[in-house]
Amino acid sequence: MNPRRLTLEESIDYPSTWMSDSKAVVFWSNRNDRWGIYKKGLDQTTAQTIVTGPDNKSWPVVSPDGSWILYLSYRGPRTPVRIMRVPTSGGTPQLVLEGRDIQRLMCARSPAALCVFSELSPDRKQVIFSAFDPMQERRREITRVNLKQPVADYSYDLSPDGSQLAFAQSQPFGFAQSQPQREARLQILPLAGGEAREVNVKGWYSLLRLVWAADGRGLFASAGGLETTLLYVDLEGRAQVIWHQRFRLVGWTIGVPSPNGRYLAVSGQAIDNNVWLLENF
């Protein structure tokens, strides 16, 4: 595996999805002082702006039919969050629906047609998942997950065929490190009904930034700790290291596979530490 850098600007870039033809990555970036949505082709030298503006924008996804890029738009903490859509061919953003605490968008791949958003319950003890129609202000709750207290962090993703959700909650760092047997846990929740299945991942105390593999047979996940490690975890709990950040930082990475399964967009960190000299101050 020979990774190559895709985005070349000095900014924070988070890959979120791919275009349906697997030829371009859609990501969110702070390169213009606000978070905006961008697209970068595999063979392009510069990124294309999808949408920017005064609001922060995040979590872009492509609708199952490939016609729209959906994303979240918000001004700041405790302000309403809007789900917006913009044609993949370009055009004016349009409002889909608005909520108070919407956190993330997810869409299945064609021929499935499911799109889902998540939000916290008013008491902040549950994550509520709702299906929505990208073309109408219509939503319906499909499932809820109880959060273990105290909440450190959690992550989830919708499978490519739209049949199940994967969910993981991490424990506080100090508590998890004190346990003699480190074992992360994934929940696989079937959306057509039935019991959730628990997958134990030995050797790793927490998993974050879950993203399903293109074939739906496993997930990419960021392993917690003092180093940033990207794992591939199959549905039996076997973990394989895919990417290891060489800087010892508390942080996370994310791996987003292309629909054809040939590529993996990975967020990585690079740090420059320089000594500056001030004179006559």
Check whether residue 90 and residue 202 sit in a common domain.
no
Check whether residue 101 and residue 174 sit in a common domain.
no
Q: Is residue 275 part of a domain?
A: no
Q: Is residue 115 part of a domain?
A: yes
Q: Is residue 33 part of a domain?
A: yes
Check whether residue 139 and residue 18 sit in a common domain.
yes
Check whether residue 240 and residue 119 sit in a common domain.
no
- DSSP at 175: H
- DSSP at 44: -
- The pLDDT score that the predictor gives to residue 78 is 78
- The pLDDT score that the predictor gives to residue 178 is 52
Cα–Cα distance, 23 to 82 (Å, whole number): 28
| DSSP output for 216-277 | SSEEEEEEPSSS-EEEEEETTS-EEEEEE-SS--S----EEE-TTSS-EEE-----------
Q: Is residue 7 part of a domain?
A: no
- Contacts of the segment 7-16: beta carbons below 8 A, 24+ positions apart: 7/40, 7/47, 8/45, 8/46, 9/47, 13/38, 13/267, 14/58, 14/254, 14/267, 15/254, 15/256, 15/265, 15/266, 15/267, 16/58, 16/59, 16/60, 16/61, 16/256
Domain range enclosing 19: 12-146
CA–chain centroid gap for 261, Å, is 17
Check whether residue 169 and residue 72 sit in a common domain.
no
Q: Is residue 234 part of a domain?
A: yes
- The pLDDT score that the predictor gives to residue 182 is 64
Check whether residue 32 and residue 128 sit in a common domain.
yes
Q: Is residue 281 part of a domain?
A: no
Q: Is residue 248 part of a domain?
A: yes
Check whether residue 82 and residue 203 sit in a common domain.
no
Check whether residue 98 and residue 204 sit in a common domain.
no
Total domains, the chain: 2
As averages over each run of 10 residues, the pLDDT of the chain (281 residues) reads 85 95 96 93 94 94 97 88 95 93 95 96 93 92 90 90 94 54 85 92 88 98 77 96 71 90 89 83 76
- The pLDDT score that the predictor gives to residue 63 is 97
- The pLDDT score that the predictor gives to residue 150 is 77
- The pLDDT score that the predictor gives to residue 152 is 74
Q: Is residue 43 part of a domain?
A: yes
What's the burial of 199, exposed, middle or buried (CB within 10 Å: 0-12/13-18/19+)? buried
Domain end point (choices 146, 166, 195): 146
Provide the 10 A C-beta neighbour count for residue 121: 13
Check whether residue 131 and residue 226 sit in a common domain.
no
Check whether residue 200 and residue 91 sit in a common domain.
no
Check whether residue 136 and residue 101 sit in a common domain.
yes
Looking up residue 168, the CATH number of its domain turns out to be 2.120.10.30
Check whether residue 139 and residue 222 sit in a common domain.
no
